[in-house]
Amino acid sequence: MTLDISIRTDDILTSDSHLIQSFANLHGLKQQDARTAIVSANGAYVTDSEGNKLIDGIGGLWCVNAGHGRKEIIDAITEQLNTLDYYSTFYNFTHPTAAALAKKIAELAPGHLNSVHFGNSGSVANDSAIRILHHYYNRLGKPNKKLVLSRQGAYHGSTYLAMAMTTPAYSDGWDVANNLVHHLRCPHHWREGDGMTEAEFLKALLADAKARIEELGAENIACFIAEPIQGAGGLIVPPEGYHAEMGALCRNYDIKYITDEVVTAFGRLGHYFASKDVFGVQPDIITTAKGLTSGYQPLSATIISDEIHEVVSGDGAMFLHGMTYSGHPAASAAALANIALMERDQIPQRARVTGKRFENNLRGLADLDLVGEVRGSHFMMGIEFVKDKEKKTPFEPEDQIGLKISRAAQDRGLIARPLGNILILSPTLIMTEEQIDRTSDILRDSITEVQGAP
Ligand SMILES: Cc1ncc(COP(=O)(O)O)c(C=O)c1O
C-alpha cells in the first residue's frame, strides 16, 4: 500500500487545529507549516508525515531511554491489558504488577527509600512529594514547617504547585501558587559565577542558601527540591560537590531533601538513579517519571524514606492522596518490562561509555563562534549560543537563534529542542556510535550554516 503523504499531512494538520500543544506559541502554530507531525518511530529514529526519517535527538521528551518500538515493552503492556486492564490501588486494593514494580523501584533506589506512591506525570510526582511531606509535618506536630526551597533555573512541572517550584521565567503571564515557594540562586557557574572559581562559587551558593534558611526560619521550611542537573530551565550542571554540600546543610537544619529525578534516572546519566551514585547525596524523597517506562506509558513515582513512611503510615493516619491511575496495570507492566530490558542490555552501564562519546562530541562544538558554552553530562546536554563569545552576550529573543539552528538541524535529519538561546539534546540511550557521530556532524553543519547567515 502506498501512502499519499501530502494528503495525510493536510488531514493531520486540519484535525490538529483542535489540539492545544503544550509550551507552544499557539498563535505561531496557526501557520500551516509550523507543526511537525510524527507518525512512526523505531530505535533511535522517528518518521514525520512527509516521510522524513529523523534522529530523535530529544528522546521524545527526555523519556524514550530504551529507544522506540521495543517489542518487549509493547508485548508486556498488551499481555497485562489482556489479563487485568484496570484496577485501582485505592483503599485496600492492590494488584500484582504495581506491587512488583514498587518492590523493584525500592531495590534500585538508594538508601532507605523503600516506599513508592505512583502518579502519572513528573508534575504529579512532585506535587505528591510536597503533599506527603506537609502531612508528615502535621503528624509530627509541626504544622508551620511548610515552605519549599527551590531554585532559579528549576523545572519541576506544570501543575499549579509544580509550576510554583519551577523557575519564574516559565510562568510569565501565568499565575502560580507563590505563597509556599522560595527560589535560591541558580547554580550556573558560567553565567552566575563571573570572577569566581567554581569552588568559590559553590561557597557563595551555600552561604546564600544558609542566609535564606536563617531568614525564613528552618522551623518554617519543609524541604529543598532540586534536579541533580537542571534540565528544561537551561541544562545547568551545578558546581562539583554542590548536592552533597546542600544535603549536609539541609540535614543540619532538619530540612528534607527531594531530588527530582524525572529526567536523570533510568540511565540518562549512566545509573538507575543519579542522586547518590553520581552526586553523592542521599535524598529523603526521589521523584521520577519519564525513563521509568521509557515513555511507553504515563507513569511517575514518588519514593519516600522509611522514616517518612513510618510517620505517614502510623496509627491514626489517613493517606488522603492518590489518582485514579496511580499504579495503572498497563503503566506498571511497561515499567517492569522497561527495567528488565535495561538490566538485560545493560543500558545504563552502556550509557556511561556511549553517553561520554555523545558528551565529548558535543563539547567539540565549543570552537564555533556562536557557541558560548556546551554543558551537561552523558545523554543530557545543552548548547548555549551567544552573540559575542568573549563577553557572553546573549541573543535577543527575536533573534530566535535556537529555533533557527534546530530548523537547520531538522532539515538535515535531526530533532533538537530549542529553548531560547539554548539547544537541548536528550536522545535515546541506545544510539550507536555512528548515530552519535552523525548527530554532532549535523549540529556542526547547522550551527555553521546559521553562523554564516544569522
Ligand atoms: C525535572 C523535571 N521534573 C518534572 C517534570 C514534569 O514532568 P511531567 O511533564 O511528566 O509532568 C519534568 C518534565 O520535563 C522535568 O524535566
Q: Are 354 and 440 in contact (CB under 8 A)?
A: no
Whether the pLDDT of residue 44 is over 80: the answer is yes
Non-local CB neighbours of 230 within 8 Å, separated by 6+ positions:
151, 153, 154, 155, 186, 187, 236, 238
Q: Of all atoms in ligand 1, which is nearest to the CA of residue 123?
A: 11
Tens digits of residue pLDDT in 229-242: 999 999 999 999 99
With respect to CATH, is domain 36-69+347-452 assigned 3.90.1150.10? yes
Tell me the H-state helices in 109-168. 122-139, 160-165
pLDDT in tens, 58-108: 999 999 999 999 999 999 999 999 999 999 999 999 999 999 999 999 999
Give distance in angstroms: CA of 230 to centre of ligand 1.
11
- Does residue 123 line the site of ligand 1, with CB under 6 A? yes
Atom of ligand 1 nearest to the CA of 290: 10
**pLDDT, tens digit, 9 for 90 and up, residues 138-190:** 999 999 999 999 999 999 999 999 999 999 999 999 999 889 999 999 999 99
Label residue 22 by pLDDT band (50, 70, 90): very high
Q: What's the pLDDT at 116?
A: 98
Burial 5-32 (b: 16+ CB within 10 A, else e): eeeebeeebeeeeeeeeeeeeeeebeee
301 lines ligand 1 (CB under 6 A): no
Mean pLDDT value across the chain: 96
The ranges of the chain annotated as CATH 3.90.1150.10 are 36-69+347-452
Residue in 58, 61, 156 to alter for ligand 1 test, most ligand atoms within 8 A of Cβ:
156
Q: Determine the pLDDT at residue 422.
A: 98
What is the pLDDT confidence band of residue 453, given thresholds at 50, 70 and 90? confident
DSSP 8-state code for residue 237: P
What tens digit of pLDDT does each residue of 234-264 get? 999 999 999 999 999 999 999 999 999 999 9
pLDDT digits (tens, 9 = 90+) for 283-318: 999 999 999 999 999 999 999 999 999 999 999 999
- Ligand 1 geometric centre to CA of 428 (Å): 17
The finding on whether 122 has its CB within 6 A of some atom of ligand 1 is yes
- The finding on whether 232 has its CB within 6 A of some atom of ligand 1 is yes
Whole-model pTM: value is 0.97
Q: Where in the chain is the domain with CATH 3.40.640.10?
A: 72-345
Q: Is 161 in the pocket of ligand 1 (CB under 6 A)?
A: no
Nearest-atom index, ligand 1, CA of 300: 10
- What mean pLDDT is predicted for residues 385-391? 97
* In CATH, 72-345 is 3.40.50.1860: no
CB of 115 closer than 6 angstroms to any ligand 1 atom: no
